[in-house]
Amino acid sequence: MKRILLTIMVVVAGLSAIAPDASAQTDKSNTGASPRQKLIDDWHKDMAEFRARSEKDRQLEALTDSIASVQARAALRNQDFVLEADNVSFRNGMTRFVNSTTNFISVKGNRAVVQISPSDFASGPNGVGGVTVDGMISGQEVRVNQKGMVTFSMNVMGIGINAQVEIYMYPGSNRASATVYPNFNSNTVWLDGVIVPYESSDVIEGSSL
């Protein structure tokens, strides 16, 4: 009996001696994990803030595109717009990124101007690197398909131009493309850019043929 009691006392004493060490190890472990956990928490916080900012940016961009689209549609219907082109493609397959201030299709009332100026180095017939032609429009029509794409078509007739022009504006944006079909030759030209109200445009019109 004495031996059993002695054994129990030894075991209890041993556990009491071990317990503080284990507690110390646990505290040490927690102390080591705390900075790491803080970094993880900070990272999650930063990511949450980034996602919140990104969502606000996307919403603002969508709103801006929507406003630009509404303005462009109204300008098309009122025949008071400019398609400012940032690239021009030719029938031979060549595509050029161009200056939107000198490459455009403008419509103001019944007058239209088509200006193609792919060169930044040569003055060209219009003085700004290409050709400028203008004329009166007729047969204009605005169509909207089920997907929301707007098509504006017109005939342009003048001294330097006799062509059919079709402009396609994509839904939810003021991005557009245009095709110019000359009636006297097959030198079709394609333009891509944005449509803005005439008064908001800053294009530079060269000397017309």
Domains of the chain and CATH, by start: 72-200 (2.40.128.410)
Which carries the bigger pLDDT value, residue 141 or residue 39?
141
Q: State mean pLDDT over 89-115.
A: 95
**Amino acid 30: pLDDT:** 45
Does the predicted model carry a pTM greater than 0.75?
no
Show the 3-state SS of the chain.
CHHHHHHHHHHHHHHHHHHHHHHHHHHHHHHHHHHHHHHHHHHHHHHHHHHHHHHHHHHHHHHHHHHHHHHHHHHHHCCEEEEEEEEEEECCCCEEECCCCCCEEEEECCEEEEEECCCCCCCCCCCCCCEEEEEEEEEEEEEECCCCCEEEEEEEECCCCEEEEEEEECCCCCEEEEEEEECCCCCCEEEEEEEEEHHHCCCCCCCCC
In the structure, what pLDDT confidence band is assigned to residue 11 with cuts at 50, 70 and 90? very low
pLDDT at 52: 73
**Would the pLDDT of 1 be above 80?**
no
63 pLDDT tier (thresholds 50, 70, 90)? low
Mean pLDDT over 104-111 rounds to: 97
More confident call, 108 vs 26: 108
